Amino acid sequence: MTDKEDKVVLLTSVQILQNILEVCEEQGDATHPTIKKLEQFIISQDSGGDDASKLITTLWNLMDEQGDNFLVVQQLKRLDQYTPKLFSDVVIGQLKGEDKETKYNALKKFSIFWRLTAHDTSYRPFLTSKERQSLKE
């Protein structure tokens, strides 16, 4: 498979998993054991967030200046809703990279992310779950 095909498969898989979770939550089925296992695959808090962190890192690394980044950013936003701390850790970790090239690439990705999310005034990246909850109240 080419890099572009890998990107499409990954984005489709993430979107399917997240859509299943959302539908089940809307229908009140969020406590079903299979749904909980699926949610743990995405969030994976028990293992220190390794699976979710890898997924966020992979999506973050897919962003580039020339590609269609809209779908990647949409999925990152959705994952940020589930795992705000992990999302922040991945992005900030790359912005604080060891070498100049890593920092530069992270800054380019961040500017792409920021540009594609700026129109959504209801989206607040880099807030903790508690901070987001207090905004809703």
SS (H, E, C) 50-90: HHHHHHHHHHHHHCCCCCCCHHHHHHHHHHHHHCHHHHHHH
Residues 6+ apart with CB under 8 A from 77: 117, 120, 123, 125
- Given this model, what pLDDT does residue 95 score? 93
Q: Is the dihedral of CA 133, 60, 112, 23 positive or negative?
A: negative
Name the pLDDT band for 108 (thresholds 50, 70, 90): very high
Residue 9 has pLDDT above 60, yes or no: no
**Using CA atoms, how far apart are residues 37 and 68, in angstroms rounded to an integer?**
31
Instruction: Map tokens 């779908």 to a residue.
Output: 71
Give tens-digit pLDDT for 27-80: 665 555 555 555 555 554 444 556 677 888 888 888 877 777 888 888 888 888
**pLDDT-wise least confident of 103-107, 112-116, 122-126, 127-131:** 127-131
**Using CA atoms, how far apart are residues 95 and 75, in angstroms rounded to an integer?**
20
Give tens-digit pLDDT for 71-88: 888 888 888 877 788 889
